[in-house]
Homo-oligomer: A and B are copies of this chain.
Amino acid sequence: MEMSSKLLENAVAEISQLPGIGKRTALRLALHLLKQPTEHTQHLAEALKKMREEIKFCKQCHNISDTDVCELCANPLRDKTLICVVEDVRDVMAIENTGLFRGLYHVLGGKISPIDGIGPSQLTINALVEKVKQGAIKELIFALSSTMEGDTTNFYIYKQIKDCNIITSTIARGIAVGDELEFADEVTLGRSIIQRVPFENSLKSS
């Protein structure tokens, strides 16, 4: 696509490097910005730059944070002996939104995935194992997605900490609340029967 302006061409090239945004969408976004007041674009550009340059990762849980230690880790009301291991920041937000977890998190930053060239050393697994070996943690909850990579990562971590006298658990897999059985996949339905829970437990909703 030939454009009448190098400035526009440059902006479109930069926008289309974002995941899931092609040349056409990038052009649409750029033309939208041109129709808006200049301040809109300035605010957007400032926010992006400021975020990238000033954001920190929490020293303890590797969650995104504005400070050296994130709000969650700094909160004295949270249970520091219970750690939920998650893949990335979005999982922390999702679990926080439930309002049902009062422990802390450990953000791995991804899953072990040799195909994508991600090995254990690119993740924060060593820091987690170190934390467990210090002995203050009682339980580790694995909350990775149940894919091949997720299972591999769970098992890799489990192997390194299994002698540490610590409880390990994974989040429950089963039929989603409100879903109908006939539309559930066999693996999930099968697992939900094998790993059934006492009826009394299901009465506790929180």
Contacts and interface: CB of A to CB of B under 8 A. Distances in A.
A51 interface: yes
B44 A14 contact: yes
A49 interface: yes
A14 B48 contact: yes
Contact of A45 (B29, B49, B54, B92): B49
Q: How many copies of the chain does the oligomer comprise?
A: 2
Given A5-B64, A7-B54, A29 B33 contact: no
A32 interface: yes
Nearest to A72: B4
A13 B47 CA distance: 9
Contact of A8 (B19, B34, B64): B64
Contact of A51 (B10, B72, B90): B10
22 contacts: A2-B93, A2-B96, A3-B64, A4-B58, A4-B70, A4-B89, A5-B64, A5-B66, A7-B50, A7-B51, A7-B54, A7-B55, A11-B47, A17-B40, A18-B32, A19-B29, A20-B28, A33-B51, A38-B52, A41-B49, A42-B49, A45-B46
